[in-house]
Every structure is written in C-alpha cells, then in structure tokens.
Amino acid sequence: MKICVLVKSVPEAGVTKRINPSTGRLERGGETRDNPFDTHAIEAAMQLKEGGELQVDEIVAVTMGPEAAAKALRKAVSLGADRSIHLSDEALAGSDVNGTGYALARVLATESPDLVLLGQQSDDGECYTIGAVVADHLQMPSLTQVIKIDVEGGALRCERQAEYGYDTVSIPLPAVISVGDAINEPRYPSLKAIMGAKKKPLETKSAADAGIEADRVGYDHARAHCAEFAEPPAKAAGQIIEDEDTSETVEKIVAWLDERKLLA
C-alpha cells in the first residue's frame, strides 16, 4: 500500500510574519522550514511501515508552494519518505483553504493513496482544516487531531480528544488522517539520510499536470477573500521581569500579587 504525507514549508519561527497590505497575502520571503506538525505525520507513516501490520510499499511526500517549498520535501525524504511530489504553479499562489485543499486533492487523486497523513495544523496559517477538505474531495473517511493510531483488522483505530473527552474511532482504508503532535516523537534524520535525500525522486507538477481547474485556485478565485487588515485593540503591555537574581524576582512577584490582593 501507499501512504501520501502532506507537508508544507512555513516561515522560520524567528521570522516576523507579515501580510503584504497590497496583496493581502502572507509574505513568504525569508528563511523557511518544514511545518513542525508535518514531522509527526511522517513519523506516523514510518511507524506504520515499520510496525509491519500493514504492508507499506511506499511513502510519498507531497507539497504545494513556490520553489522554496521543496525544502520541506527534502526534509520529508530525509526522514524516510521514498519520493516526493511538488505541486508548483504561479496560478496556485494565494489560494484559500478551499482552493488549496482542492488542488492537493487533485494531486493525491493521481497517486491513489491508501492513506493520506498530514499534520493537524500548519505553523503559519493555523487552519486545522485541510484534511477535512481533502477528504471530502477524495470521498474518503477522515479524522483530524488524532493522537494515537493502531492497526486493527486492516483498519485504523484512532484516538483523539474531542469536545467531551477522548474518542476512539475505527476508520477503514483508504482514509485521510491528520495527526496532533502528541502522537509520537519524530526521529532526527541521519547525516547519511540527509545526503541521500537529494537522490530520491522529486517530481514537479504544474496545475495543468494535476488536472486542476484554473478557476478554482489562486488569489483571484479564492471563495473567501481577505480584504482589509486592522490592528487588534491594543492591550496594555504587561510588566516583564528578567530573572537574574531569583530571590529578588520572587520578591517582585509576591509584591505584585500582594498589590492586587491575591494573597489574602
């Protein structure tokens, strides 16, 4: 069977993220890295492969984004993916959740995966939702924010936290599962794997290659259109104490609490 893992490049944690006011889009310049949640999805795929209860023949990393997004694919193959697909097309730039999920689903459809795994959220857009969009297009059962996957009779027994406690759900394959960061501790790639990553096949596809209808993607066709950007109501900045002498720090905290009558 084949597992496809969706990955994404996001701005490096230290890079100040800002919206370009004239385009309404996140500026994607500056250093990028793979979305931290994605490594959990790749690790989950690797554990299913190594667990041996499913015969996993191939793990394919898939991303959508500009040229720099290929970095996330290299990380994915260094962590164990066998090959990768980069959907890259200027026509896709500025797609909203609906357009992005549709485009990714088109690429995935060409691969006919038995399982699609992804991280539950990206570090920049914080959308949580791509998994559910992709699943509806692929007409597969789906679950998001999964923190435990066991193979049981060829189906996946998934656990997650929902509104009322922990839910356990059985999902037959093929399926789309997004995972939370509590699901595993991702491994670090070995130097050899990092070096070898460049040798693994990377296929670049255009929107047309994937059969993506042009009027469903890109900024101009976004069904949800971000127009204006405003500053939120300012909250008075809090007081900050740098802990140099802990006794002094603690004295300051106690005085602060005392002033507010919280130690009564």
Residue closer to other proteins (CB basis): 67 or 231: 231
| Min dist. Cβ of residue 200 to other proteins (A) | 31
Does residue 253 interact with other proteins by CB under 8 A? yes
Burial 211-222 (b: 16+ CB within 10 A, else e): ebeeebbbbebb
- Name which of residues 84 to 103 contact other proteins (CB under 8 A): 96-98, 101-102
Residues contacting 234, CB < 8 A, separation 6+: none
- Residue 53's Cβ-count burial label (10 Å; 0-12, 13-18, 19+) is exposed
Q: Which residue has the tokens 């394919």?
A: 60
Residues contacting 243, CB < 8 A, separation 6+: 249
- Name which of residues 19 to 58 contact other proteins (CB under 8 A): 19, 24, 26
| Min dist. Cβ of residue 201 to other proteins (A) | 30
CA 202 to chain centre: 20
Question: Given candidates 20, 23, 112, 168, which one binds other proteins under the rule CB under 8 A?
Answer: 168
| Stretch of residues binding other proteins (CB under 8 A), selected from 10-18, 35-43, 46-54, 77-85 | 10-18
Does residue 72 interact with other proteins by CB under 8 A? no
Residue closer to other proteins (CB basis): 19 or 195: 19
Does residue 234 interact with other proteins by CB under 8 A? no
